[in-house]
C-alpha cells in the first residue's frame, strides 16, 4: 500500500519531470525565449540570427517549446511565426501551484 507521503512525492516528481520543465532546462531554449520576450512574435530565421545555434537547431528547439505549451505558432504563407503562449504558461503554472498547495501539508508541514 502506498502512503500519502509516497503519493505526494510521486506527484511532485511527475510535475517537475514534465515537458514544461524539461523544455525550460535547456539554456539554448531559454535564450530563444529571451529573444521572443524582447522582440515579440518572430519567425525561425529572425530568431536564429540572434542566437548562436543554426537555424535547424533553433527550429527543433521551437518545436519542443511549442509541444510544452510555452510557445504557439502561426503559419502565414511560407513562414511560421512563434510567440510566447501566455495562456499555456499561466495554465501550467496555476496547475503546479494547485498541486503544490495540495501536497504541502503532506510533504512540508508548517
Look up the pTM and report it: 0.85
DSSP 25-69: T-HHHHHHHHHHHHH-SEEHHHHHTTSSS-HHHHHHHHHHHHHTT
Assign 49 a pLDDT band (cuts: 50, 70, 90).
very high
pLDDT digit string (tens) for 52-91? 999 999 999 999 999 999 999 999 999 999 999 999 999 9
pLDDT digit string (tens) for 3-38? 877 877 788 788 888 899 999 999 999 999 999 999
8 A C-beta contact, residue 47 and residue 36: yes
Domains of the chain: 4-72+79-102 (1.10.10.10)
Residue 16 pLDDT: 80
Among all chains, which residue has been given the C-alpha cell 503559419? Answer: 75
Amino acid at each position: 500500500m502506498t502512503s500519502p507521503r509516497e503519493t505526494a512525492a510521486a506527484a511532485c516528481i511527475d510535475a517537475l519531470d514534465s515537458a514544461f520543465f524539461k523544455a525550460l532546462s535547456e539554456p539554448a531554449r531559454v535564450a530563444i525565449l529571451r529573444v521572443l520576450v524582447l522582440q515579440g512574435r518572430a519567425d525561425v530565421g529572425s530568431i536564429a540570427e540572434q542566437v548562436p545555434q543554426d537555424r535547424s537547431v533553433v527550429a527543433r528547439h521551437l518545436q519542443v517549446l511549442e509541444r510544452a505549451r510555452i510557445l504557439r505558432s502561426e503559419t502565414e504563407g511560407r513562414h511560421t511565426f512563434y510567440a510566447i503562449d501566455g495562456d499555456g504558461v499561466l495554465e501550467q503554472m496555476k496547475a503546479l501551484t494547485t498541486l503544490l498547495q495540495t501536497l504541502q501539508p503532506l510533504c512540508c508541514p508548517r
